[in-house]
């Protein structure tokens, strides 16, 4: 079950609601691979076909290109060497340079992308 995270700037009107984590259908390899660009689907198919232990979730980030709070898909194959396959932002930007949002005690570790002030976080629901 995933969480719905509300991010609101203290100062301006910028806010986002992000669905993070994973849903009930996200243990299906075909469903999960569909969240990724074509070039990454094959890797995910190979890993899941080999029945390696794997995990999928959406993580909250600040995209440096479009300047928004958003989520990106992250696939992890667990083992001696954890292999990570990340998706792209909706603006098609790769997320290697995106800033991971860490909500802690109602405050997040990144500033508002519009005005630079403090951003508050709250879990406002669950989704599956
Ligand atoms: Zn702001
Ligand atoms: Zn973006």
Rounded to the nearest whole angstrom, what is the distance from the C-alpha of residue 11 to the centroid of ligand 2? 22
Give the pair of three-digit tokens for residue 99: 């800033």
Alpha carbon separation from 68 to 30, 61, 80, 93 (Å, rounded): 28, 8, 34, 12
Per-residue pLDDT tens listing for the chain (128 residues): 999 999 999 999 999 999 999 999 999 999 999 999 999 999 999 999 987 899 999 999 999 999 999 999 999 998 888 899 999 999 999 887 789 999 888 999 999 999 999 999 999 999 99
Query: How many domains does the structure of the chain reveal?
Result: 1
pTM of the model: 0.89
Ligand having the closest approach to the CA of 64? 2
Boundaries of domain holding 87: 2-127
């Amino acid at each position: 079950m995933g969480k719905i995270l509300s991010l609101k700037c203290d100062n301006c009107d910028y806010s986002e609601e992000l669905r993070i984590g994973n849903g009930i259908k996200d243990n299906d390899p075909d469903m999960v691979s569909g969240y990724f660009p074509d070039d990454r689907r094959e890797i995910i198919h190979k890993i899941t076909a080999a029945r390696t232990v794997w995990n999928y979730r959406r993580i909250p980030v600040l995209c440096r290109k479009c300047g928004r709070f958003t989520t990106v898909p992250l696939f992890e194959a667990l083992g001696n060497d954890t292999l990570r396959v990340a998706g792209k932002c909706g603006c098609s930007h790769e997320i290697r340079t995106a800033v991971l949002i860490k909500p802690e005690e109602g405050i997040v570790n990144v500033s508002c992308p519009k005005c630079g002030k403090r951003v508050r976080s709250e879990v406002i629901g669950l989704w599956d």
